[in-house]
Structure 1
Amino acid sequence: MTLEGVELSGGRAGALPLAGSPLFVSTDVDEARVRVAEVYCDHRLDPMGRGRFAARHNRLSGRDLSVNVMTYTAKTMITPGALREFYLFQYPLTGHASISNGANRHEIGGGRSGVVNPDEDTCMIWGEGCAQLMIQVRREALQGMARSHFGLPEGQTLRFFGANDMRAGEGKAFLGLLNYAVSGEGLLGKGGLMGQQLETMLMVGLLQTQRHNRSDHVQEAGGPLPRAVRLAEDYMKAHLTETITLEGLAREVGVSERALQAAFRAGRGRSPMTVLRDLRLERAWQDLSHPGPGTSVTDVAMQLGFFHLGRFSEHYRRKFGCTPSETLRGAGRL
């Protein structure tokens, strides 16, 4: 089963991800509402139509966020008002849902996701058989991540809007990370370095793939990235261990250096070389958290073009909240 391929069959109890971390199963509406309210917030739960009602909720909890998989067999209206203490990322694995979150109204499903803001009245209608993968993340934690990674000013509220296409590019990569999170059941709840790093990556992934008021670029809802950016990023990912210069990258893409820089500023809010550095840091995290015999921080850094180990360690710590050595130690190979 993969999240990217949406190979989930709604209604089959064993088909839901996180089957090893069940929270509850119920065919009673009142019981389902109470059990969900215990981990989210109080709300109204109103089945619609004549379909048989059943609810299932699997949940894996960490320090600042939890990963959840939920399904309602019947078409269901959920009215929590304002969530207050947390943001809620929603990605339907099957079916569709309509979300009303203050003035932010959108449809999710069919490869599209969305985030519910905590300070606006919310009403959701899940279609019959809708099964959703959700990340519940503490408001303060995500806003802190937005301040450190996206320059969110003190006192300003992080606000998401619209639906986001997750079928390609960074969206697809983020689903791959989520697939890892749900396949490694228990990692988030153990409180170790690996779990903390995974939480950090999930929060950064939310900020990079879901549109919000601190995104450093303006696109039409669901609009694609500039072609030059997509081509350049594809080339970067395929050649992370090779020498890549701005001049060479522009030549590979077929545009001038100035045009490539402008495309990245418009599409990513960052320079091409900054994006390349972040891609290499993410590869370093993968290599260090899944080491082979003889894996070392120095070798990983050098292979990815980080020849100044002190600077590599500082960039890594800022991105993941720990040092490369701590990642390797947490994987048991240091």
Structure 2
Amino acid sequence: MMQAQLLSQRSRVFDHADPHAVSGYVNQHVGNHCILMPRAGQPLASLDHRKFASLDLCRISYGGSVRVTSGALEDIYHLQVLLRGNCLWRGHGQEHYFAPGELLLINPDDPVDLTYSADCEKFILKVPTRLFESVCDEQRWRYPGQGVRFVENRYQLNELEGFVNLLAMICQEAEATEQIPRVQEHYTQIIVSKMLSLMKTNVSRECLGSPTATFDVIADYIAQNLKRDIDSEELARQASMSLRSLYGLFERNAGVTPKNYIRQKRLERINACLSDPTCNVRNVTEVAMDYGFLHLGRFSDSYRKQFGELPSDTLKRRL
């Protein structure tokens, strides 16, 4: 059993209820899923739930050996703490029985396949993807182009310093008589920052403005944001340097201005896409506009100068 209190009877929504009613509520507030009930018996489910700023806190038990599946959570992360019983997780060709005190992290694109034991009870924290983006932005960490991904999905709670106490504190605040939005938002930022600090992710916590920031760091930022409208001012802000210093950095490392470097990299990405039979391209215009080339005549001219042929010729050659 967990010593920290993660939600109490004060947050009770269902008590010894029909599991399908509880599942319908979970679909509405916590994440899309399907449940498969045992053929025999009449399990009774219980659920506690609180909204906390943009988070959802949930404590759930189905009262039977229920299988929970979902294609993907899409724009949310699930942090699930096992409180009682066990829960079989299947994914990535592996399976693991979670025991009390273990934590499971589910990425937005991970399929969900969980089987609860009859006595299983778990705490679920639902976190929207945009929160991770805003915390990375605030901390000036490099937000990955494909979004934050938790590389490891299993943890022992006692190995995550202070984390369970933080969860308990958030639950206590969520159940407080007086709800203070600013306090809730502050705690939300803390919990997401702690998740990024304590758990293994694809986020580089090296700040772009740190002394170790190099041309490679800025080049990586450009590569991850090629479809966005990036200008020199934004790069200078990201690297915490003056425009003059930024131009000097590009001159030394690439021999071109930041603007020309970005154009070269966009053309290279388009060339790779037009050359690759597995890349889904309907026509040259579509891919050019996707990378911000709105004047197709100038685009074709720049492409020909860089690769010695027209983009339409590259596309024809792969067909």
The TM-score with structure 2 as length reference comes to 0.56
- Check whether the contact 1:86–1:139 (CA below 8 A) recurs between aligned residues: yes
Aligned counterparts, 1:274-285, within 5 A: none
- Check whether the contact 2:19–2:62 (CA below 8 A) recurs between aligned residues: no
Q: Provide the rounded CA distance (Å) in 2 between the counterparts of 1:66 and 1:59.
A: 7
Residues 67, 33 of structure 1: CA spacing in aligned structure 2 closer, same or farther, 3 A cutoff?
closer
Q: Show the counterpart of 1:173.
A: 162
Pairing 1:19–2:9 present:
yes
Q: Show the counterpart of 2:189.
A: 200
Aligned counterparts, 1:130-145, within 5 A: 130-145=120-135
Pairing 1:164–2:155 present:
yes
Residues 65, 104 of structure 1: CA spacing in aligned structure 2 closer, same or farther, 3 A cutoff?
farther
Q: Provide the rounded CA distance (Å) in 2 between the counterparts of 1:97 and 1:146.
A: 32
Gaps of 5+ in 2: 207-319
For residue 22 of structure 2, give the secondary structure of its aligned residue in structure 1.
Answer: helix
- Check whether the contact 1:24–1:35 (CA below 8 A) recurs between aligned residues: no
Give percent identity, aligned residues only: 17
Aligned residue pairs total 206
Deviations 1:22-47 (A, max 9, x none): 22235323322212111134321112
Q: Which moved more, 1:112-121 or 1:101-110?
A: 101-110
Q: Show the counterpart of 1:40.
A: 30
Aligned counterparts, 1:36-75, within 5 A: 36-48=26-38, 50=40, 52-75=42-65
CA drift of 1:135 comes to 0.7
Aligned counterparts, 1:213-292, within 5 A: 213-214=202-203
CA drift of 1:198 comes to 1.2
Deviations 1:289-324 (A, max 9, x none): xxxxxxxxxxxxxxxxxxxxxxxxxxxxxxxxxxxx
For residue 137 of structure 1, give the secondary structure of its aligned residue in structure 2.
Answer: strand
For residue 158 of structure 2, give the secondary structure of its aligned residue in structure 1.
Answer: coil
1:28 pairs with 18, 27, 41, which one? 18
Aligned counterparts, 1:87-126, within 5 A: 87-101=77-91, 106-126=96-116
The TM-score with structure 1 as length reference comes to 0.54
Residues 27, 187 of structure 1: CA spacing in aligned structure 2 closer, same or farther, 3 A cutoff?
closer
Larger Rg: 2
For residue 212 of structure 1, give the secondary structure of its aligned residue in structure 2.
Answer: coil
Residues 102, 63 of structure 1: CA spacing in aligned structure 2 closer, same or farther, 3 A cutoff?
farther
Deviations 1:109-157 (A, max 9, x none): 2322121111232211122211111110111112332454482435232
- Check whether the contact 1:70–1:133 (CA below 8 A) recurs between aligned residues: yes
